[in-house]
Amino acid sequence: QRSKRTKKTVTSRSLVTYNNDIDTGKRKKRSAASRALVNLHNNEVGRKLVEGNMKVDCKCHGVSGSCELKTCWKAMPTFREIGELLKDKFDGATEVRLKELNGRLELEPNKQYFKKPSEEDLVYVEGSPEYCEYDINSGSLGTHGRKCDKNSRGLDGCDLLCCNRGYTSRRERVRERCSCKFHWCCFVQCRTCIRDVVIHTCK
Domain annotation for the chain: domains and CATH numbers: 15-126 (no CATH), 142-203 (3.30.2460.20)
How many whole angstroms separate alpha carbon 76 and alpha carbon 60? 20
CA dihedral 92, 155, 140, 111 (to 10 degrees): -10
- Return the DSSP state at 157: B
pLDDT of residue 10: 43
Query: How far from chain centre, in Å, is Cα 146?
Result: 21
For residue 111, what pLDDT is reported?
79
Q: What is the pLDDT of residue 101?
A: 74
**Buried-exposed string 186-202: b where 16+ CB fall within 10 A, e elsewhere:** eeeeeeeeeeeeeebbb
Tell me how far apart the alpha carbons of residues 34 and 95 are, in angstroms, rounded to a whole number: 11
> 16-74: per-residue pLDDT in tens?
444 444 445 545 566 677 888 889 999 999 999 999 999 999 988 877 767 888 899 99
pLDDT of 117 over the 70 cut: yes
pLDDT tens string 152-167: 888 889 988 999 899 9
